[in-house]
C-alpha cells in the first residue's frame, strides 16, 4: 500500500486516497469506507436516513432555530449578496410566482371577507353608522386623491409622507367646514396641485361661492 492509497474496510479494495471522503472525525483525515461503498450505503438507507433527519430536526427544533439565527446575524452581507445574485438569475420565475401567490391569496382573502360580512352584517352596519364620523377624513381625503389623480393634479413625486400630511388636513377639518384647494385643481387660468400647502378650510357657503375661481391678484 503506497502513501497515496488505503484499503477500504467495507469492500476490501485498495484504493487511492482521493477515493475516500474527507472527514475530520478520524485521525487519518479520510473515512474508512471508499466513496463507492459510501454511495451504496447511502442509496440503501435513503428512507431511513430521511426519517432520521426529520426526527432529528423535530427534536432539535429550538437549537436549530438559534443556530440558524446566529448564522444569519454573522453572515448578513454574504447572505444578502447571495440572495441578490439568486434573485437576478431567477427574476422571471419570481415574478410569476408572486403573481400566482397574489391571485391565490386574493381569492382566499376575499372569500374570508365575504364570509365574515355575511355572518356579521348587522353588527358591521351598526358599527359603521356609529363610527362613520371617525373615518370621514380618511374617506374624503381618498376621494380627493382619486379626483386629483384624474385631473393630473396629484404630484408624481408624492410619497407616503405627503399622503399622510394631506390626510391630516382632512382629518382635522372642523365641523361645518370643507377642505378647499386654494388654487383649484381645474382652474380657469391656472391649475393647482393636490398638496398640503394648497389646502385651506372654507365654510360650505364660502366654498360654494368660490367655485373654480382663483383670485390671482
Ligand atoms: Zn469500498
- Which pLDDT tens digit goes with each residue over 124-177? 999 988 988 888 888 899 999 999 999 999 999 999 999 999 999 999 999 889
Does the pLDDT of residue 13 top 50, yes or no? yes
Distance 30 CA to ligand 1 centre (A): 13
Distance 10 CA to ligand 1 centre (A): 5
Angle, helix 61-74 to helix 46-59, in steps of 10 degrees = 80
pLDDT band at 217 (very low <50, low <70, confident <90, very high): very low
Contacts of residue 217, defined as CB under 8 A and 6 or more positions apart, other chains included, come to: none
Distance 25 CA to ligand 1 centre (A): 19
Distance 49 CA to ligand 1 centre (A): 20
Higher pLDDT among residues 189 and 74, named by residue: 74
Does the pLDDT of residue 211 top 80, yes or no? no
- SS3 assignment for the chain: CCCCEEECCCCCCEEEHHHEEECCCCCCCEEEEEHHHHHHHHHHCHHHHHHHHHHHHHHCHHHHHHHHHHHHHHCHHHHHHHHHHHHHHCHHHHHHHHHHHHHHHHHHHHHHHHHHHHHCHHHHHHHHHHHHHHHHHHHHHHHHHHHHHHCCCCCCCCCHHHHHHHHHHHHCCCCCEEEEECCCCCCCCCCCCCCHHHEEEEEHHHHHHHCCCCCCC
Which residues on neighbouring strands pair with residue 180, listed in sequence order?
A: 200
Domains in the chain (CATH in brackets) are 1-44 (3.30.60), 120-210 (no CATH)
- State residue 189's pLDDT score: 81
Query: What's the mean per-residue pLDDT of the chain?
Result: 90
- State residue 188's pLDDT score: 79
Distance 16 CA to ligand 1 centre (A): 11
C-alpha cell belonging to residue 103: 391571485
Distance 36 CA to ligand 1 centre (A): 6
Distance 47 CA to ligand 1 centre (A): 22
- State residue 197's pLDDT score: 95
Q: Are 180 and 207 in contact (CB under 8 A)?
A: yes
Distance 12 CA to ligand 1 centre (A): 6
Distance 41 CA to ligand 1 centre (A): 10
- State residue 215's pLDDT score: 58
Mean pLDDT of 76-80: 95
At 27-71, the pLDDT tens digits run 888 999 999 999 999 999 999 999 999 999 999 999 999 999 999
Nearest one of 196, 198, 199, 191 to 159, comparing CA atoms: 196
pLDDT band at 204 (very low <50, low <70, confident <90, very high): confident
- State residue 203's pLDDT score: 92
Distance 51 CA to ligand 1 centre (A): 25
Does the pLDDT of residue 213 top 80, yes or no? no
- State residue 104's pLDDT score: 87
- State residue 210's pLDDT score: 80
Q: Are 144 and 186 in contact (CB under 8 A)?
A: no
Distance 38 CA to ligand 1 centre (A): 7
Cα separation values, 43 from 16, 34, 39, 56, 192, Å = 23, 14, 6, 20, 74
Distance 55 CA to ligand 1 centre (A): 29
Predicted structure pTM score: 0.43
pLDDT band at 209 (very low <50, low <70, confident <90, very high): confident
Distance 52 CA to ligand 1 centre (A): 24
Amino acid at each position: 500500500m503506497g502513501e497515496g492509497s488505503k484499503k477500504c474496510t467495507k469492500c476490501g479494495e485498495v484504493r487511492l486516497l482521493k477515493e475516500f471522503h474527507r472527514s475530520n472525525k478520524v485521525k487519518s483525515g479520510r473515512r474508512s469506507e471508499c466513496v463507492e461503498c459510501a454511495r451504496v450505503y447511502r442509496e440503501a438507507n435513503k428512507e431511513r436516513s430521511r426519517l432520521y433527519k426529520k426526527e432529528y430536526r423535530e427534536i432539535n427544533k429550538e437549537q436549530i432555530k438559534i443556530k440558524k439565527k446566529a448564522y444569519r446575524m454573522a453572515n448578513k452581507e454574504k447572505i444578502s449578496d447571495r440572495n441578490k445574485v439568486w434573485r437576478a438569475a431567477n427574476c422571471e420565475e419570481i415574478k410569476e410566482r408572486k403573481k400566482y401567490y397574489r391571485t391565490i391569496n386574493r381569492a382566499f382573502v376575499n372569500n374570508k371577507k365575504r364570509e365574515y360580512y355575511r355572518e356579521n352584517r348587522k353588527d358591521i352596519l351598526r358599527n359603521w353608522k356609529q363610527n362613520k364620523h371617525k373615518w370621514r377624513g380618511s374617506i374624503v381625503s381618498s376621494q380627493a386623491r382619486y379626483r386629483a389623480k384624474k385631473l393630473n393634479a396629484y404630484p408624481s413625486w408624492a410619497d407616503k409622507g405627503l399622503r399622510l400630511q394631506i390626510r391630516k388636513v382632512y382629518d382635522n377639518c372642523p365641523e361645518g367646514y370643507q377642505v378647499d384647494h386654494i388654487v383649484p385643481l381645474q382652474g380657469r387660468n391656472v391649475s393647482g396641485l393636490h398638496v398640503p400647502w394648497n389646502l385651506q378650510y372654507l365654510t360650505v357657503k364660502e366654498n360654494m361661492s368660490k367655485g373654480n375661481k382663483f383670485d390671482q391678484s
